Amino acid sequence: MEAGEEMETTVINYMKEHRMVEKKDHLVVGVSGGPDSMALLHFLWKYKEQWGADLTVAHVNHCLRGKDADLDQEMVESYCEERDIAHHTIKVDVARRAKELGLGVEETGREVRYDFFRTLLNNDPRGKIVTGHHRDDQVETVLMRILRGTGINGLQGMEPVRADGVLRPFLEISKEEILAYCKRESVPYRLDATNEQDTYHRNRLRLQLIPLLKTYNPRVEEALLRLSRQADEHQRYLDRQVERSWSACRREKGFSVALFLKEEALMQKSMLLRAAKEEKEKAPLESRHLDLALKKIRDQEDTVWQLDLPEGLQLRRSYDWLVLEKQGDKKTVDDFQYSLRPNKTYGFPRLGIIVELQEENPELFYGKQQKSNEIFMDYDRMIKIGTTLTLRQRKAGDRLLNTEGLPGRKLKKILIDKKVPVEVRDKIPVVALEHGVVWVPGSAESLCFQPTENTSRVLHITIYNVQEETND
């Protein structure tokens, strides 16, 4: 078997192992015109009939290299036209765009390319992006992450198949093999002179650091790839364990502090990362953020707090409850206030409740045990203190009426003592008169209006959730 055929066999087996391509897939191939992407395009074109996949070539002219960039574009277009391959090109002044965005040229170029690729996919469920990243790129990626500081997840390097459908079929072959393949298959390509300049961080790493490391270990690239594969095995195992612990601790949007604290530190950090990834695909949390979060969570004296994290994420604790979400996702509650009158039933679909008010015989209620969703009030005493009974949300400075009918304890303090979560407090309906709160269902009621043996009229208020029966 010749070298080119051996390379093709390696790539085909790698693609099968990772189930990269299926029949009728639409492959958008990022092609710059360099040897890596041109070899990839040639390989995919050669085998597309065998796979039954459609090819679309995407080329971005970054306007960074003047005439050379235009020649790259012409070569890619010519190659595609000769083989009847669908192709699309855009020209973007990346240097200017980077300046406008306040980003680096490399980062901006990457964003421009992938935005273009996704546009060409046009939300096609069979669509996938294919890039020419190879084994040497993987070595550079792992080394760069080590230098920046990374965990096991970062040591994995680039994935063969990303969660968003980006494929990297060449990760098992070297640059040297790619160049030999281009020569054997007569694949045209153009060299980017900027790849030999030490202006960019990755170039310095490839041109200076890796050759230096080879003087210590001639097989340093193999060692880094082996480290990457081992990290991948460890991370996959850890991910499975995290899912088990996550399922055990998970409660709707958040998770239990008590169950969370039973886990080992590694699992706790992994669960926080898992929560962050639910909100942002690329979780921006670093070790220092995770350490700070764990320090606060473990402080059992401070059980209500919020911690701002990068890129708009926020971790909130409310007693035994942890929630990590984007700050913009926090549900705000619209103001509500409704007048209530005796002997009427009100439905409030927006609040998910029904409120029933009935004037009753006091003999039925004197000394009777109330349920958490009802209150018995001395109606005559109530109207001496206030005439307007309302159902509303809590307000700043709210106080529960005391036994004399005057403002007493702060409602905020009562809810804190009851350990009502912060995010729930504004959603709880309260029954109030003009000068203070009469009743917070399930949490507090004023003793001012308790029926006595002298009560002549009782106002019986009941609040039902919409899913409850009202005749039990």
Known binding-site positions: 32-37
Q: 3-class SS at 129? A: strand
Contact residues for 182 (Cβ-Cβ < 8 A; gap 6+): 35, 38, 39, 42, 189
Q: Dmax over Cα atoms in the chain, in whole Å?
A: 105
CA 386 to CA 402: how far, in whole Å?
A: 14
Q: Residues 131-164, buried b or exposed e (16+ Cβ, 10 A)? A: bbbbbbbbbbbbbbbeeeebbebbbbbbebeeee
List residues forming the annotated binding site for ATP: 32-37
Torsion (CA) 264, 265, 269, 270 in degrees, nearest 10: -30
CA 351 to CA 335: how far, in whole Å?
A: 11
Question: Strand runs (DSSP E) across 43-155, as ranges?
Answer: 54-61, 86-91, 127-130
First to last CA, the chain: 82
Torsion (CA) 308, 309, 311, 316 in degrees, nearest 10: -60
Contact residues for 428 (Cβ-Cβ < 8 A; gap 6+): 393, 394, 415, 420, 440, 441, 443
